[in-house]
Each structure stands twice: as structure tokens, then as C-alpha cells.
């Protein structure tokens, strides 16, 4: 049996400072990628030109417009036609040398797995929680945790890594910053040629994709043997003001779209009070603290017909039971 063919795709939007570190980590992998694709949204020739010269083995897709994460990811997956697995990376991720090999090994050992991710540690912008050797020991993500209220968090985020998440296991979904997808899974869950919902543009599209995959019978795996470092300096538990407004806008909008598309009626009835309470708290926050986010609520209207159409397709193709899905909402 031949080894699986793997394509690695990086979706960039203006982050030329961190790209060399990310690309260097791809080149240092113990398992070499069969193709490396860099999609540069709203590309600047003066910035991407030197990157192309320094990394001639990288296929660069220079986009005149900003396709967002979802549009960029879809373009990379289409470019990677014929590959067994597709890894997607943020440009501010540096992988440990065995990251890709560990994910591919986990994927190949579990035929029902559609998504695999590793242990993400916070990168250079988070100075606390470093060991004596200077390496960050603060967790960024070990997969996503979904509550009955449908609040989503990165499992373990901000915790000191002392081995509490060192067990390989299934999780609800995987952080899209450094994730491996099985190509056959992506083909199975696509809707009208979109693997990632382009109505989302960016943010929470990773959760939406994994939720849809769970409904169609695929699993998401967490492999702690794969270690990478994720630099996201704005993400601090104690200061929401550091979060970019556009991220909050899309996250707010996309959370609603995700629920419209993927909720099973029985689970919606079971968890309706928790969901309602979170919704009330969110609207109070918007009204009192960030009224500008009301735009996300108002803009939902134009996305509703598309979300309902996609929901119809997902529900017709759903292969998971209420019990199988209900275990994820804690």
C-alpha cells in the first residue's frame, strides 16, 4: 500500500512577518509534504515576491481580493485535488518537527476520522508560563469544547500544560490553525462545491465544518503527540478589548448561522433553556457594551435563505443519531 499523499496549505492575509517561520517549520517536518500551497489574500507583490524567491518549492496563489479563510481554504482544497489529506495552517503557526507525521499516523489508523489536530501551545507573544528552556508551556487549544448553551471554547486555553490533555481522544472539533483533513471527508460534506461555508468568510468555520462532519458520521481526533506553537497575541482571557472588531462581528454572525444549519431538533428542545440564557446574555452585552455588534444581528437576515437551504441538505444527509451528537454538548 502506497503512502498517503499530503498537501499543506497556508492561508495568509497580510501576515508576512510570520510566514518564514511557518514555512521553515513545514520544510523541517519528518514527513515531507507532497505539495506546499500558500494562498495570499489581497496579495502585495512587494511582500509576497521575496517569499516566493526564498521558497521556490512553494506554490503561491496570489489573490487580488480577500477571499477570507473559508474562500481561501476552498481554493486550496480544489488545488489539492488527488491528494489523500490536506493540512491547513495559519501563517502564525510553527509546527514541531513531527507534527505532520503524527497527524497522518493518527488519521491512517482511524478510517472513520475526518479531522485530526494536535496540541497547540501559545507562541512568542505570551511570555508567562515558559519553562527554563524558554519554550512556552501554556496551552492554546487541544480541540474545541461545546457546552449545552452552545458556547464554544478552545479546550485547555490558557492552562499550564502539565499533562492534563495528554490522552489521544475524540473531540467535538479541531482548531483550524493547524489541522489535517481527510480529502474523502471533505468531498463527502461539501455543499455545492464548498467544503467551508463561504458565508462565514472567517472565524468558526472550523467548528461548523467539524459539526457538519460529525452529523454525517465522521469523527475528529486529538493527538497530543503532535505539538505546534500558535501566535495570537490578542487572545487574552482578561481583555476582550484586544479582540479585533471584525473577528467579533464574524464570530457573532457565524455562531447563529452554524446553529441554524446544524442543530438537531431533539437536542435544541433538550438544551433550549441553556441556549436561550446564553443568547440573552449575548444581546445584553451587545446592547450595553458593544452596540456596534448589532450590525451582526441585522446582517443575519441576508444569510438566512442560504443557511436554511444548507440545513435542508445537511439534515437529509445526516447519519448520526441524537444520542451520538448529544454527548458532545456538556
pLDDT tens digits for range 182-235 = 999 999 999 999 999 999 999 999 999 999 999 999 999 999 999 999 987 544
Q: Do 36 and 79 meet the contact criterion of CB atoms below 8 Å apart?
A: no
Angstrom distance (rounded) from CA 313 to CA 297: 24
Residue whose cell numbers read 472567517: 202
Mark whether 190 and 107 lie in a shared domain.
yes
Mark whether 125 and 220 lie in a shared domain.
yes
Q: Where is average pLDDT lowest: 207-211, 220-224, 284-288, 324-328? A: 284-288
Mark whether 10 and 88 lie in a shared domain.
yes
For residue 27, what is the domain's CATH number? 3.90.550.60
Angstrom distance (rounded) from CA 288 to CA 68: 29
Among 203, 230, 257, residue at a domain's last position: 230
Q: Is residue 329 part of a domain?
A: no
Closest to 174 measured CA to CA, from 209, 136, 203: 209
Mark whether 184 and 78 lie in a shared domain.
yes
Residue whose cell numbers read 488519521: 107
Record the cell numbers describing residue 269, joined without a space. 428542545
Q: Is residue 1 part of a domain?
A: no
DSSP tag of 251 = H
Mark whether 83 and 104 lie in a shared domain.
yes
Closest to 148 measured CA to CA, from 276, 249, 250, 256: 276
Instruction: Give the total number of structural domains in the chain.
Output: 2
Entry field: residues in the chain: 330
User: pLDDT class for 292, splitting at 50, 70, 90?
Assistant: confident
Question: Which structural domain range is residue 90 located in?
Answer: 6-230
Mark whether 73 and 215 lie in a shared domain.
yes
Mark whether 204 and 277 lie in a shared domain.
no
Among 178, 212, 230, residue at a domain's last position: 230
Among 207, 230, 253, residue at a domain's last position: 230
Which runs of E-coded beta strand occur in 93-212? 93-95, 113-122, 139-141, 144-146, 152-154, 169-171, 178-182
Mark whether 170 and 285 lie in a shared domain.
no
Mark whether 178 and 115 lie in a shared domain.
yes
Q: Is residue 49 part of a domain?
A: yes
Mark whether 46 and 158 lie in a shared domain.
yes
At residue 258's C-alpha, the angle toward residues 82 and 111, to 5°, is: 40
- With a pLDDT cut of 70, the percent of the chain lying above it is 93
Closest to 106 measured CA to CA, from 93, 91, 116: 116
Give pLDDT tens digits for 74-90. Answer: 999 999 999 999 999 99
- Check pLDDT > 90 for residue 130: no
Angstrom distance (rounded) from CA 184 to CA 140: 28
Q: Is residue 194 part of a domain?
A: yes
Angstrom distance (rounded) from CA 61 to CA 11: 10
Mark whether 64 and 148 lie in a shared domain.
yes
User: Residue 6 pairs with which residues in a beta bridge?
Assistant: 85
Amino acid at each position: 500500500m502506497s503512502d498517503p499523499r499530503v498537501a499543506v496549505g497556508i492561508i495568509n492575509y497580510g501576515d508576512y512577518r510570520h510566514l518564514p517561520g511557518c514555512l521553515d517549520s513545514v520544510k523541517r517536518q519528518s514527513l515531507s509534504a507532497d505539495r506546499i500551497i500558500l494562498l495570499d489574500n489581497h496579495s502585495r507583490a512587494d511582500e509576497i515576491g521575496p517569499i516566493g524567491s526564498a521558497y521556490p518549492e512553494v506554490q503561491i496563489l496570489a489573490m487580488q481580493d480577500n477571499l477570507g479563510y473559508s474562500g481561501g481554504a476552498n481554493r486550496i482544497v480544489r488545488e489539492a485535488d488527488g491528494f489523500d489529506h490536506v493540512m491547513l495552517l495559519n501563517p502564525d503557526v510553527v509546527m514541531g518537527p513531527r507534527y505532520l507525521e503524527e497527524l497522518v499516523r493518527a488519521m491512517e489508523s482511524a478510517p472513520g476520522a475526518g479531522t485530526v489536530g494536535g496540541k497547540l501551545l501559545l507562541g512568542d507573544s505570551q511570555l508567562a508560563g515558559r519553562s527554563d528552556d524558554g519554550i512556552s508551556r501554556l496551552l492554546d487549544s487541544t480541540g474545541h469544547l461545546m457546552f449545552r448553551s452552545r458556547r464554544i471554547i478552545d479546550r485547555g486555553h490558557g492552562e499550564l500544560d502539565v499533562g492534563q490533555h495528554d490522552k489521544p481522544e475524540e473531540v467535538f472539533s479541531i482548531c483550524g490553525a493547524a489541522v489535517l483533513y481527510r480529502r474523502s471527508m471533505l468531498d463527502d460534506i461539501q455543499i455545492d462545491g464548498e467544503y467551508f461555508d463561504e458565508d462565514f468568510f472567517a472565524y468558526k468555520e472550523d467548528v461548523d465544518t467539524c459539526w457538519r462532519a460529525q452529523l454525517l458520521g465522521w469523527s475528529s481526533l486529538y493527538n497530543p503527540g503532535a505539538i505546534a506553537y500558535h501566535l495570537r497575541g490578542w487572545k487574552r482571557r482578561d481583555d476582550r478589548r484586544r479582540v479585533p472588531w471584525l473577528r467579533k462581528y464574524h464570530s457573532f454572525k457565524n455562531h447563529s448561522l452554524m446553529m441554524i444549519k446544524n442543530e438537531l431538533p431533539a437536542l435544541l428542545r433538550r438544551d433550549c433553556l441553556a441556549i436561550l440564557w446564553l443568547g440573552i446574555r449575548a444581546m445584553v452585552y451587545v446592547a450595553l457594551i458593544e452596540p456596534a455588534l448589532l450590525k451582526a444581528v441585522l446582517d443575519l437576515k441576508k444569510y438566512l435563505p442560504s443557511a436554511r437551504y444548507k440545513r435542508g441538505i445537511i439534515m437529509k444527509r445526516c447519519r448520526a443519531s441524537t444520542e451520538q451528537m448529544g454527548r458532545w454538548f456538556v
